């Protein structure tokens, strides 16, 4: 049976909701606009759902040369306002300020956007926060411990995450209820391949673009946040721990690097 791309997703603001695509443009840093923007605290340290689960309640849209952020109307009651206006951030920043930010324990360069944008997110979360954007020439890279050194925007460690729909279905069976694949935040969701088989892959192509699977993806508490409610709900880590634990780490999905720019499409076959 031929493995195919079931869906493609980018997450423009790190830890916020994603945007499903029919076609994904890939540039030297990975999926275009994926984790292009990030929230940082007053110590310039990255802020994700690990410390602020309500980031999962922010919708993202790219329209009219802007990133548009808004509170998902299903979750507005979790914020201090009965309504809240959307925020429109130009894709090309206007007079940004270069700063250094921390992603995990490593420092990298970023562009600090203007105070009006900071006020939007700070007021929403009732604490001082800032928006930053990836510089045009990002000097942040993969670690080099797994696969080649590649430039990055703001993903945790690699430009792509691939998840197998059948592996999600297997988890649903063990969980005793349907598990939403959005918990795992994949860029590429594939189908028509046996559960777990993806972890044996190394090199393959999608629409002529070569990919290398550099490592199995280790998972954190974010997968316990239910995208349908925006908080920890029906946690999956206890179930995953029973059968997807390797050397004290939970494994789900594979991290990829790419070797060519171009476009990949939903429905395309994987070539091995």
Taking alpha carbons only, the member of 97, 83, 89, 85 closest to residue 63 is 89
Q: Note every long-range contact of 93-96, with CB atoms under 8 Å and residues 24 or more positions apart, other chains counting.
A: 93/133, 96/133
Spacing of C-alpha 91 from chain mean position:
18
In this prediction, the residues of the chain whose per-residue pLDDT falls under 50 are none
Query: Which pLDDT score is estimated for 1?
Result: 64
Is the CB of residue 15 less than 8 Å from the CB of residue 21? no
pTM of the predicted model, to two decimals?
0.97
Query: Which pLDDT score is estimated for 2?
Result: 87
Q: Within 10 A of 67 (CB to CB), how many other CB atoms are there?
A: 22
Chain mean pLDDT for the chain: 97
d(CA 141, CA 173) in angstroms, rounded, equals 37
- Residue 189: CA count within 13 A, CB half-sphere: 20
Query: Which pLDDT score is estimated for 23?
Result: 98
The predicted-structure confidence for 173-192, as pLDDT tens digits, reads as follows 999 999 999 999 999 999 99
Residues 6 or more apart whose CB falls under 8 angstroms from that of 186 comprise 9, 161, 162, 163, 253
Taking alpha carbons only, the member of 149, 140, 168 closest to residue 253 is 168
In the three-class reduction of DSSP (H, G, I as helix; E, B as strand; rest coil), residue 105 is classed as coil
């Amino acid at each position: 049976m031929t493995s195919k791309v079931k869906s493609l997703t980018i997450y423009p603001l790190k830890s916020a909701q994603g945007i499903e695509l029919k076609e994904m443009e890939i540039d030297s840093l990975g999926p275009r606009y994926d984790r292009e923007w990030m929230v940082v605290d007053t110590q310039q340290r990255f802020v994700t759902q690990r410390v602020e689960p309500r980031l999962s309640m922010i919708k993202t849209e790219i329209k009219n040369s802007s990133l548009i952020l808004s509170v998902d109307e299903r979750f507005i009651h979790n914020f201090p306002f009965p309504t809240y206006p959307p925020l429109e951030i130009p894709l090309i920043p206007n007079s940004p300020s270069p700063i250094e930010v921390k992603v995990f324990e490593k420092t990298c360069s970023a562009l600090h956007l203007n105070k009006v944008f900071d006020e939007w997110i700070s007021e929403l979360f009732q604490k001082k926060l800032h928006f930053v954007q990836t510089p045009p020439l990002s000097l942040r890279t993969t670690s080099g411990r797994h696969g080649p050194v590649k430039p990055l925007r703001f993903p945790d460690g690699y430009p792509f995450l691939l998840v197998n729909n059948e592996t999600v279905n297997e988890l649903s069976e063990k969980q005793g209820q349907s598990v939403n694949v959005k918990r795992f935040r994949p860029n590429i969701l594939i189908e028509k391949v046996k559960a777990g088989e993806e972890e044996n892959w190394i090199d393959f192509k999608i629409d002529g673009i070569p990919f290398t699977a550099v490592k199995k993806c280790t998972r954190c508490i974010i997968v316990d946040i239910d995208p349908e409610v925006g908080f920890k709900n029906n946690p999956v880590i206890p179930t995953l721990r029973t059968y997807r634990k390797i050397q004290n780490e939970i494994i789900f999905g594979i991290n990829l690097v790419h070797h060519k720019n171009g476009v990949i499409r939903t429905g395309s076959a994987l070539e091995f």
